[in-house]
């Protein structure tokens, strides 16, 4: 799978501390293999969330497509979805 990033996830990853960045990059590797706590978001076709501890990664994926677009990375309390 290929991961593409919107602007917000890129900024979030560049602004967080090194330990958090490593944790999130490992989570993104798992996401590329579609492993982990992934659930579809209600009301959004093709949009899912990946949960890792208190962080959430919101992404778009159309089944059968090899491209995952990461929309947002944030903490559970600050996520918009």
Q: For residue 81, is pLDDT > 80? A: no
pLDDT in tens, 35-75: 999 999 999 989 999 999 999 999 999 878 889 999 999 99
CATH of domain 2-75: 3.30.2310.20
Domain limits, the chain: 2-75
Q: What is the residue-wise DSSP string for the chain?
A: -EEEE-HHHHHHHHHS-HHHHHHHHHHHHHHHTT-SEEEEPTT-TTEEEEEETTEEEEEEE-TT-SEEEEEEEEETTT---
Helix H segments across 33-80? none
């Amino acid at each position: 799978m290929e991961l593409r990033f919107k602007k917000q996830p890129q900024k979030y990853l560049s602004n967080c501390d090194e330990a958090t960045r490593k944790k999130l990059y490992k989570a993104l590797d798992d996401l590329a293999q579609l492993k982990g706590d992934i659930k579809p978001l209600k009301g959004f076709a093709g949009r899912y969330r990946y949960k890792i501890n208190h962080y959430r990664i919101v992404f778009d994926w159309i089944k059968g497509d090899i491209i995952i677009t990461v929309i947002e990375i944030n903490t559970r309390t600050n996520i918009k979805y």
